[in-house]
Structure 1
Amino acid sequence: MSLVLPVPAGASVLVTRPGPRVAETVHALAAQGVRPVVRPDATTSDAVHAQLRDLAARGLLTLDPQADADGADVVVRDPHGPVADGTPESTEPPARVGRVTLVGGGPGDPGLLTVAGLAAVERADVLVCDRLAPLAALERARPDAEVVHVGKIPRGAFTPQEAIDALLVDRAARGLDVVRLKGGDSFVFGRGGEEWNACVRHGIPVTVVPGVTSAVAAPALAGIPVTHRALTQGFVVVSGHVGPGDPRSAVDWGALARSGLTLVVLMGNATLGETAAELVRHGMSPDTPAACVAEGSLPGQRTVRATLAGLAEAALAAGVGPPAVTVVGAVVDALEQRP
């Protein structure tokens, strides 16, 4: 059952007393086409403030500590506030062996979560979620399910991967059905392989539900195919988390510049200018069509198109921030755009 009541179309919504799972409330409203105003107060923790700033930067809410309830059509007290009932954890051994399911949740719209992924969410005892997962789908979780948010806010709060691994193993070792819900696909820069190995090392059964990767979905939703007959025979997906000049980068940018393939860069906003310059240095035309697609599939989705040489400046001018997918290649102009 939904914890956020259906909201009339066009209604203004104020969310008060945001709790540690406020992102779920915001995503449930976003699924109804609502961008709420959220009013924190003196009880709001620093961790929740960090979530709110991140959600506001992504265009999913408006943050206003002075918002007046009289100015809203609907006022909702965040139903996902902390609950502490004082019930001690059982010391009895589990009656069954638990399991972990790595669920790729797709680019963010709950409609792009697979049927198998939704079924896993509905049956889970424990849900361990990323910030880019389709959090509105948690409305379909069992009321008694434990939900743990372990998202990594860019240049902000994050949960170390080792702690996530330990959490999955701990809950499954208690005999619980654990779902690790991620954005995109668990094995496309999702560290799903590390989580798989952690489970196997501890004798925990682990399975995978593949997800729709944003590397393909975000461009498609913006009208950009990653392949197109007569333009390219393939595409390559790379991480832009570290730039070409960083010693941690193992990407052969020269080979990519000469490949003739569509280039899709994930997590590359901060290094976009450096990446473009490196591709041009290795022979790619500065006039190559390029685009950034931000918040693919969500209400705040927007696309910036430019040449390769001008994309970083255009994205900065448009205020495009993560999460965003960058596409470089002739496919950016392959489809006729609707007027």
Structure 2
Amino acid sequence: MLRLLLRSRQRGVRYVTTKSIEISPPPLPKLPSRPSTSGSIPWLSLSEIDEYLVPLRWHIPWTFTTSNSLVGKSGNGPGWSYHGKYKFKTRADGLKFTGQTRQLLSDEGVKSAEQETMLSLRIKTANAFLPKEISNLRPQVPAREDTPFPESLVVPGLTIRDIRFAMLIDQMFKTEYGTTFTFSSSSYPPAEQMVSNIFRHGFCPCCALPHALHQCEKRKAYPPVKPCNVCGVQHWVTDCAVVRKKRTNMEMEMEKGSEERRERRNQKIREQSAARKEKRRAERPAYRVETGANMVPWNSTSSEERDR
């Protein structure tokens, strides 16, 4: 049910009315077939986004997010991740469902994060690549035409395998526990715009490839459209001498501060050590008993008294 707020701005007329409109959810998409487990898997195509990602938002408690990180050893990358959460009444139910999920993990080859009574799933295909229709949506950055997107480049992202896994998990949960999921939002931009937003995070602003700007080999030959907002020269901020100088000074200040903190810590350790020694010295007995002799001062410096 969507409630629309209608306002009139005619001269001398100001009133507010509401109108209720019934919105019918789209049908649940058919479960996609399992993709091949050998080789890389393409990101979701524009048609797959419209066919699965958008309508599934009505039926399962899963949502996608864009990562700001680059491709690394962790398997993370700038592509979408799919997130789903399921709550359980008891820890036993959660553990039981987690065990069932592990079997699907083995079959589908995805990763998950587990909690006590909430199963939190995060899906992203590590060995994914961008199909041509997706890589063509890269923004018009300075070196775009001189750096075609390699079709074999592995960029972790959301694939049809992840969609299939999410649907299987949701089917399993609903069969066992029913569902309390309620849809929260029906507004999604067009698929092209959704994909274009990915390239704003984790992709180079000079060539639109998935690497950091300071790693870009094209940035010297292709300056930015706008001059540096620090010094006004037509270069990228990462090449700005003023920024480098500030960064160097900041690093020196941080190093100096670290040395001062280290010296204060060492001085405190020395003072504590000296205080412990002084305390032990003060707690020593003033006298000792020697067999066949009278009690004599322990700290006596007289050799005659010690030899008696």
Give the shorter-chain TM-score range.
Answer: under 0.3
TM-score (structure 2 length as normaliser): 0.23
Structure number, greater radius of gyration: 2
TM-score (structure 1 length as normaliser): 0.22
Which has the larger helix fraction? 2
Which has the larger strand fraction? 1
